[in-house]
Amino acid sequence: MNIQSILSDKIKQAMILAGADQSCDALVRQSGKPQFGDYQANGIMAAAKKLGLNPREFAQKVLDNLQLSDIAEKLEIAGPGFINIFLNPTWLATEISAALSHKNLGIQATNKQTVVIDYSSPNVAKEMHVGHLRSTIIGDAVARTLEFLGHNVIRANHVGDWGTQFGMLIAYLEKMQNEHASEMELQDLEAFYREAKKHYDEDEVFAEKARNYVVKLQSGDEYCRAMWKRLVDITMQQNQHNYDRLNVTLTEKDVMGESLYNPMLPSIVEDLKKQGLAVENDGALVVYLDEFKNKDGDPMGVIVQKKDGGFLYTTTDIAAAKYRYETLKANRVLVFSDTRQSQHMQQAWLITRKAGYVPDSFSLEHKNFGMMLGKDGKPFKTRTGGTVKLADLLDEAIERATVLINEKNTNLSNDEKEAVIEAVGIGAVKYADLSKNRTTDYVFDWDNMLSFEGNTAPYMQYAYTRIRSIFNKTNINSTALLAAPLTIKDDKERTLAIKLLQFEEAVQTVGKEGTPHVLCAYLYELAGIFSSFYEHCPILNAEDEAVKLSRLKLALLTEKTLKQGLELLGIKTVEKM
């Protein structure tokens, strides 16, 4: 149940009855200060102005037409014409009880869509780097969230598995195999790529063979195809291992690499030419876009086919958009990649639209993200300036979490301890990333992310176990608890109840904007509000049994919300820490 949208709809109806037109918007927001109520409608002034009415008088007319008696206990006109809304505790209590007994905490699917989420998308024969880490964990949180909201989510791992470099990679793989290289040597993808490139640059016979292999691969030669497949498999096995460690939901089934679109490219380029969109320039085929200007202020040219006949990253993305609309029947596509790819995505999609491959209603959204920086404020690198291997980063996370958890005097069994270390170590890396607004760069800092204070994974995981421990101290059965009445009297109870009911607003924002940090901020605030409720309102030592049960219900919904919220972020919880 989304309080904000219920209030928006009802107030809008009243505005229309009071004379406003259909396009009016009540602009309902959560209030920043308690004296302004729980929510406020900010859209009255603009609507009144349009009607030529005094805003406060118009606000009164809106109130006269407004039916909110069950939801609100008080409505008040404030300042130049705001409407402040104070929610009714009885209604809050009913909604909390309903959320507790429904599946999905009462969140129901509305206008179900098919959404393609293009994320992770590493490149074959290359080690995953920190940019892919960001794409992987942010994309996965959004995929989980949209699925939770009832949408049909198609995960598309747009793996870089095609291009001219494969000739050189196949030739090098052949050389390694002839020299009976061990499996181990093949596993080091960075070294493999580097060596292949070195041979290509330095050995003309090798280079000739490599060029020959590209042509053969592209014409479907069986041997080259099999060698190519081997390279893809080695890479994706390693990546799958990373995904599993990261608690990311991607599987082999989600791979939809660049090669998938390759057969579509000749006819797309042919069609762009026929439509007059692509024109020849010095042997290459180019689409000129008025919407983008080059250095001289002229329309920018985007190459869709090179002089030698090769296709480009842009051509593939045009095909991918077309395929996702036509074949996957998607309503919406979200691509999670680096901000530096924004112009590329916008250009590919503009060409897709100009060519008429997708309708206006088909939503193409680049969910871009900034860079991960080291403590020195420069792009995150190893001490020697190399790319940080994801696997090494995760090893370090586990090492650091081991030290941290061992420092704490806990009475955990070895198995429990291991589970805590894993949840905290991996969770810390993920949460540190997810809790930042994705569009800005952020500094990767082990000490901050592993702190038990602040908006971190360990803090959130600990907050969850604290509520669990309340329940471990009682033997109340859950049916009795669900049946018990909930009464909201104390201010702290009220604040907690409202926060709990705002879960859906946070989750829907994540689904719409692709911004998991909104959910992190929500959960962090919820944990803080619960702490202060728990401090002021005794639960197990409450004045009587009815109050105890009532408060336990608030605690139970908090526990479930934290667990569900962290699960949507792909962060594990443990029962004890």
Interacting residues with ligand ARG (CB under 6 A)? 118, 121, 123, 158, 160, 317, 320, 335, 337
Q: Which is nearer to ligand ARG, 95 or 118 (CB)?
A: 118
Nearer to ligand ARG, 130 or 486 (CB): 130
Cβ closest to ligand ARG, residue 90 vs residue 439: 439
Find all residues with CB under 8 Å of 302, minimum gap 6, and list them: 286, 287, 288, 289, 292, 314, 347, 351
Least Cβ distance, residue 253 to ligand ARG (angstroms): 18
Q: Which is nearer to ligand ARG, 337 or 550 (CB)?
A: 337
Quote the least distance from Cβ 159 to ligand ARG, whole Å: 7
Least distance to ligand ARG, CB of residue 341, Å:
6
- To which H or E segment does residue 87 belong? strand 82-87
Give whole-number Cα distances, 208 to 220, 404, 445, 470, in Å: 19, 54, 46, 71
Instruction: Tell me how far, at minimum, the Cβ of 123 lies from ligand ARG, in Å.
Output: 5
Which strands sit side by side in the sheet containing 363-369, from one edge to the other? 152-156, 114-118, 332-338, 363-369
118 vs 504, beta carbon nearer ligand ARG? 118
Nearest approach in angstroms of CB 164 to ligand ARG is 15
The answer to whether 45 and 80 have CB atoms below 8 angstroms apart is: yes
Please identify, using beta-carbon distances, which residue of 88 and 136 lies nearer to ligand ARG: 136
Q: Which is nearer to ligand ARG, 134 or 499 (CB)?
A: 134
Beta carbon of residue 198, minimum distance to ligand ARG (angstroms, whole number): 22
User: In sequence order, what DSSP letters do the residues of 287-349 get, joined into one string?
Assistant: EEEEEEE-TTSSEEEEEEE-TTS-B-HHHHHHHHHHHHHHTS--SEEEEEEEGGGHHHHHHHH
Residue entry with tokens 């971190």: 456
- Comparing CB distances to ligand ARG, the nearer of 134 and 199 is 134
Q: Determine how β-strand 442-443 pairs with β-strand 372-373.
A: parallel
Residue of 427, 455, 576 whose CA lies nearest to 522: 455
Q: How far is the CB of 313 from ligand ARG (least distance, A)?
A: 7
Distance of CA 56 to the CA centre of its chain: 41
User: Count of CB atoms within 10 A of residue 162's CB?
Assistant: 22
Q: Which is nearer to ligand ARG, 107 or 269 (CB)?
A: 269
Cβ proximity to ligand ARG: between 160 and 514 the closer is: 160
Whose CA is closest to 514, among 212, 137, 228? 137
CB of 570 to ligand ARG, least distance (A): 20
Residue 559 class from Cβ within 10 Å (0-12 exposed, 13-18 middle, 19+ buried)? Answer: buried
Cα torsion 459, 462, 464, 466 to 10°: value is -130
Smallest gap from residue 332 Cβ to ligand ARG (A): 14
Write the CB contacts of 321 (distance below 8 Å, at least 6 apart in sequence): 333, 348, 349, 352, 357, 358, 364
Residue of this chain nearest to ligand ARG (CB atom): 121
Query: Residue 176's Cα: distance from chain center in Å?
Result: 40
Q: Which C-beta is closer to ligand ARG: that of 335 or that of 488? A: 335
Smallest gap, in angstroms, from Cβ of residue 368 to ligand ARG? 10
Residue closer to ligand ARG (CB basis): 265 or 537: 265
| Gap between the Cα atoms of 196 and 203, Å rounded | 10
Dihedral sign, CA of 562, 565, 568, 570? negative
If the CB atoms of residues 209 and 389 are measured against ligand ARG, the closer one turns out to be 389
Closest approach, Cβ 414 to ligand ARG, in A, equals: 39
Residue the block writes with tokens 């602040």? 454
The residue among 97 and 352 lying less far from ligand ARG, judged by its C-beta, is: 352
Least separation in angstroms between CB 42 and ligand ARG: 38
Instruction: Please give the DSSP secondary-structure letter assigned to residue 150.
Output: T
What's the token pair of residue 144?
A: 């989980």
Distance from C-alpha of 548 to C-alpha of 476, rounded to nearest angstrom? 11
Q: Report how far residue 464's alpha carbon sits from residue 563's, in angstroms, rounded to the nearest whole number.
A: 7
CB half-sphere exposure, 489, CA atoms < 13 A: 10
To ligand ARG, the closest distance from the beta carbon of 117 in angstroms equals 11
Closest CA to 576 of 399, 450, 408, 397: 408
Shortest Å distance, C-beta 241 to ligand ARG? 18
